[in-house]
Chain A
Amino acid sequence: MQERLKHSIIDAAGMKRTLTRMAVQILEENEGTENLVLIGIHTRGVPIANRLSKIISTLEKGKTVKQGILDISLYRDDYKTAAKMAEVRATEIDFDINNCNVVLVDDVLYTGRTARSAIHGIFDFGRPATIQLAVFIDRGHREMPIQGDFVGRSIKTSPGEEVRVRVKEIDGVDEVVLVEEYDDDERGEK
C-alpha cells in the first residue's frame, strides 16, 4: 500500500493554537491541576500529552501535571485477528491513580476501540475518580459508544482515507494531513 496526500488540515502554528485551547479546556473542566493526570497513549498520544502538560504548566504558573504513558497492545480486542504481531511497548504510570482525574490523550479518535482498550488498561492501575478523553483529531466512524471530551478538530473523512498527525518529536514536522491509501498497481492513474 502507498499513500498520497489529499490535503493539509492543520499546520504547525494551527497545532499550537489548538493545543493551547485544549489545555485551557482541560484546566477549566478539572478546575486546576490538583489530582489531574495526563496519560499519553502510544505512539503519538505521548508527545501530545507532553505538550499539553507544558502549556498547562505555563498557564498555571509552574504547577506540574502528573504524566504517564500507556501502551494498549495487551488490551486490544483484535489481537486474535491482527495480521501483524502485537508489539508490547513501554507503559509508564509510576504513581497512584486512585481518585485522580485521568485524561487519556491520543492523536486521532476513529472507531473508539483504542480508547476502549485504554480505559480497560487504566483500571489495572487503580480506580480513578474520572477518566476523560482528549484527542487532537476526531475523524468520525465510531464503532463504540465513546466520545472525546476535549477535541482539537473534528473533520469529515471516508473510510479509505487516513489522518496523519505528525509531530516534531517523532516525524520531524508539526502538521496534520489527510492522505488516501492506494495499491501499487493503481499508481500513475492520477
Chain B
Amino acid sequence: MSELVLNHLLGLQGIEPSKIYTILDTADEFLKVLDRPIPKVPPLRGITVANIFFEPSTRTKISFELAEKRLSADVVSFSKSGSSVSKGETLLDTVRNIEAMKIDVVVIRHHAQGAPLFLTERIKSAVINAGDGSHEHPTQALLDMMTIRGHTGGFEGLKVVVLGDIAHSRVARSNIHGLKAVGADVMVCGPSTLIPRDIEALGVKISTDVDEALDWCDVINVMRLQLERQNQGYIPSLREYQRTFGITKARLDRIGRKIVVLHPGPMNRGVEIDSNVADAPGSVILQQVTHGVAIRMAVLFLISGKERTDA
C-alpha cells in the first residue's frame, strides 16, 4: 500500500500508471470537498508548506496556496522579487534557510531544469515541482488529465494532440509523459522549428498540419505561445502563427464532431486560441483551473502522508 505514496513529485517521466490513477482518484474526491458548505478539511494540520517561486506565476501559485489552505496546512509564500535572491543569494542557501524554519513541504518553481531534483538531494523536506525551466510541470499535466478523464471517461486508446511550442513547453513534456503512461495515443503538432528533433523517442506522432491533427484527435491541448519566441526566429509572425496553427471556431466546425479543447493559460486570445473557442459554452478551460486546486490538494495530501509516516 505504502508504495503508492509519493516521496516527492518532480515530474511524470517514468511514473507508474497506478500513481497517476491514485492522484486522479484522490483529486476527484477533493473536488467534491471544494463544493461543500465548508470547503476545508483538516488532514494537513501541523504541516508547513513553503511556496518558493523563482519565476512569475499567478495561477499556479494561487492554486497551490488555496490547496494548502483547504487542507489546513500552514503556508508561507515567497517570490523572487523582494527577497534575498535579488541580493545574490543562491538557490541552495535560500532553501536551506527556509528549511531551517522547519518546513515540511517545498513547492518550487524555478527557471532552471532540475532545480527541484537538486533540492531533493540536499534538503529533508518533500519537494513538489511547480515548473522547472522547459523540463516538467507535473501538476499542470495531472489537472489536464483529470479534465480529460472527466470528459472522455478514460485514457486507453484516447487520441490527444498537444499543439504549439513543444520545444520550450514543460506543460507539453509533462502531458506527453503522463498521457503515454496511461495508454493514450499522443500527437504533437506545431511549427517544425518548435518541435524538438528527439521528440519521437517519447513515442509520439508528429504533425505540422493542425487540420490533420484535428481530424485525428479526441482531445487537443493548446499550449501557450510564449510571445518572445517571434523575436527569436522560431515563427515568422504572430499573425502567421494564428493563421497556420490558431484554434478557431471555423477549424473546429469543419471537423463536424465535438472534441475537448484544453488550454493551460494564460491565453493569448487571437493567437493560439480564439475567444469564441475559449469562451464557447461547454469550454473546459475554467474547469481546468478548478481541477488544478483539487489535483494539488491530492498531491499535497499523498506527499504529506509519506512524510509523516517516516517521522
Interface residues of A (CB under 8 A from B): 71, 73-76, 79-91, 120, 123-126
Given contacts A76-B43, A90-B29, A91-B32, contact A85 B38 (CB under 8 A): no
Contact B36 A82, beta carbon cutoff 8 Å:
no
B38:A124 contact, CB within 8 angstroms: yes
In the complex, whether B119 has a CB less than 8 A from a CB of chain A is no
Interface membership of chain B positions 4-45, coded 1 if the CB is closer than 8 angstroms to chain A and 0 otherwise: 110000000000000000000110011011001110111100
Q: How far is the CB of A81 from chain B (nearest CB, A)?
A: 7
Residues of chain A with a CB closer than 8 A to B305's CB: 79, 82, 85-86
A74 near B5 (CB under 8 angstroms)?
no
- Distance in angstroms between the alpha carbons of A40 and B95 in the assembled complex: 45
Q: A89, B29: Cβ atoms under 8 Å?
A: yes
Residue from A75, A84, A86, A125 within 8 A of B36 (CB atoms): A125
Check A80 against B311 for contact (C-beta < 8 Å). Answer: yes
A84-B2, A88-B25 known; 16 new pairs, CB 8 Å cut-off, are A74-B42, A75-B42, A80-B308, A80-B311, A81-B308, A85-B2, A85-B306, A86-B301, A88-B26, A88-B29, A88-B301, A89-B29, A91-B32, A120-B42, A123-B38, A124-B41
Q: Does B58 contact A (CB under 8 A)?
A: no
What chain B residues lie within 8 Å of A125 (beta carbons)? 36-38
**Cα of A82 to Cα of B43 in the assembled complex, Å:** 12
Across the A-B interface, how many residue pairs have beta carbons closer than 8 Å?
Answer: 58
Output the nearest chain A residue to B46 by Cβ-Cβ distance: A80
Residue B232 at the A interface, CB < 8 A? Answer: no
- Chain B residues near A85 (CB-CB < 8 A): 1-2, 4-5, 302, 305-306
Select A91's contact among B29, B38, B298, B301, beta carbons within 8 Å. B29
Closest Cβ–Cβ distance, residue A90 to chain B (whole Å): 6
- A81 near B309 with CB under 8 A, answer yes
Whether the pair A88, B30 counts as a contact (CB closer than 8 A) is yes
Chain A residues closer than 8 Å to B41, beta-carbon distance: 74-75, 124
Residues of chain B lying within 8 A (CB to CB) of residue A90: 29, 32
B residues less than 8 Å from A126 (CB atoms): 37
Taking the closest CB of chain B, its distance from the CB of A96, in whole angstroms, is: 9
**What would be 28 A-B contacts, judged by CB atoms less than 8 Å apart?**
A71-B29, A74-B43, A75-B41, A75-B43, A79-B43, A79-B305, A80-B311, A81-B309, A83-B2, A83-B309, A84-B1, A84-B2, A85-B4, A85-B5, A85-B302, A85-B306, A87-B26, A88-B25, A88-B30, A88-B298, A89-B29, A91-B29, A91-B32, A91-B33, A123-B38, A124-B36, A124-B41, A126-B37
